[in-house]
Amino acid sequence: MKKRNIFFVVLFFATAVYKAQPKPDSLNITLPQAEKIFSEKNLQLIAAKYNISASKAAEIQSGLWSNPTFSIEQNIYNKETRKYFDFTQNGNTDFAIDQLIVLGGKRSKQVSLAQLNSKMVENNYYDLLRNLEFQLRTDFYKLFFYRQSLIFYNETIPVLKSTINISESGYEKKLILLSELIRLKSLLLSLENEKLDLITKIEDTENELCLFFQVNPETKPVILPVLNSNFISDSEFRNLPLDTAIQTAKENRPDLQNSKLSVEYEKMNLSLQKAMAVPDITIGGRYSRNGNYIPDYTALAIQIDLPFFNRNQGNIEVSEMNLESKKQNELNSEIGAVSDVVSAYNKALQTDRLFNNYDKNFSGQYKSLLEGITLNYQRRNITTIEFTDFLESYRNTMVQINQLYLDRLSSFEELNLAVGKIILNTSLR
């Protein structure tokens, strides 16, 4: 069976999209494996990487000089020689070549803007990665604990069905009341509806994971997340001060870094707009065979705009206003990030505290009692109400325990997301 699972792992991740082939029964996959394949196959990340490459190319483009321009002028008809396009010594041909010289440090400022933009594009990539990895990990945990809850329903529903069959026979023999039989059937219907709802959640979560892996949901295997058996061990959370988490967020969150870079970008843009008020110079050479006051005329040409009316004052004011706006956005982003960290920290604190106060043997005790309680009910040693109360209590306990495990891990991942890096390494990783 182990070799078979290895085969499915290779088959599942060999290509981004499955071709038509027999559907495997199941796929066991660990979180590190899922993260590795996600980083290689996810189309959103691939598209974001192309954006980084494009921004690097824009850096190169921003530093290039303008091309020189060349022009030639030839008279169409020479009245004296009566020739069209007379290229002889008696005709006239003019040549001109010009080169734009950018002044005021505009080119270096444009390069700096392109470099800042590249950094922002890279931060956008890491911010996308941060959010997608959070979704991937939480979906992974959800699927694991959904399947853990499903085990309870798969084990309990057949026991309840068998009990109902025995009870129906007892009802026919007038050994139990109709109300007792109806109570059992009502509980069975409730459990089957809950199981159906759980299966729907599992299917939806599997489809989300398939999207992360770029696998066709129609040909996907049954995904079985594999977690370390020590996943309930203590985490590093208790040793993490809130101030440290906040400071780490300020230093590492890509969206915060982009807020700071946007201010730097606008400062540089303002500097560029002021430089744009400095007119550029065009230097060129001229030659005219017979079109000037002497034959074979040559000259140096210099052209410059006179900044009498347009000194780029409108764009300068726009950039100044944008700079003030981005400063406020930076402040707001930092406040929002701190709020995210505090909220996630408090949530993690509460769920971790509840988890550590919970008796880890509680669910096992319920499970060990199930067989005995069922047998006692079938022997009529306990009432229907006692039996159904036990099953409902058992159901609530198992669902809530799995939810507690999920909430704890999810709260840690939310804190990692808020901080901008993995600062809580559970034994799952």
CATH number for the domain including 225?
1.20.1600.10
215 occurs within a structural domain: yes
The pTM assigned to this predicted structure is: 0.81
Sorted by sequence, the CB contacts under 8 Å of residue 123 that are 6+ apart come out as 254, 255, 257, 258, 261
Number of folded domains that form the chain: 1
pLDDT 10s digit of each residue in the chain, 429 long? 433 343 333 333 333 333 334 445 678 888 888 999 898 889 999 999 999 999 999 999 999 999 999 999 988 877 777 788 877 777 888 999 999 999 999 999 999 999 999 999 999 999 999 999 999 999 999 999 999 999 889 988 888 888 888 778 777 777 778 887 888 888 889 999 999 999 999 999 999 998 888 887 677 788 899 887 665 555 667 778 899 999 999 999 999 999 999 999 999 999 999 999 999 999 999 999 888 888 889 999 999 999 899 999 999 999 999 999 999 999 999 999 999 999 999 999 999 888 888 766 666 666 677 777 777 777 777 777 887 888 888 888 888 888 998 999 999 999 999 999 888 765 444
146 occurs within a structural domain: yes
Alpha-helical regions (H) of 63-96: none
336 occurs within a structural domain: yes
What pLDDT is attached to residue 230? 62
93 occurs within a structural domain: no
61 occurs within a structural domain: yes
164 occurs within a structural domain: yes
What pLDDT is attached to residue 367? 66
Amino acid code (one letter) for 177: L
Residue in 95, 72, 96, 61 with CA at minimum distance from that of residue 303 = 96
What pLDDT is attached to residue 14? 35
- What are the CB-based long-range contacts (under 8 Å, 24+) for 126-130? 126/254, 127/253, 127/254, 127/255, 127/258, 128/44, 128/45, 128/48, 129/39, 129/45, 129/48, 130/253, 130/254, 130/417, 130/420
Sorted by sequence, the CB contacts under 8 Å of residue 279 that are 6+ apart come out as 103, 304, 305, 306, 307
* DSSP-derived secondary structure letter, 21: -
Residue 29 near residue 226 (C-beta atoms within 8 A): yes
89 occurs within a structural domain: no
305 occurs within a structural domain: no
Residue 199 near residue 210 (C-beta atoms within 8 A): no
Domain that holds residue 223: 2-66+102-277+312-419
* DSSP-derived secondary structure letter, 19: P
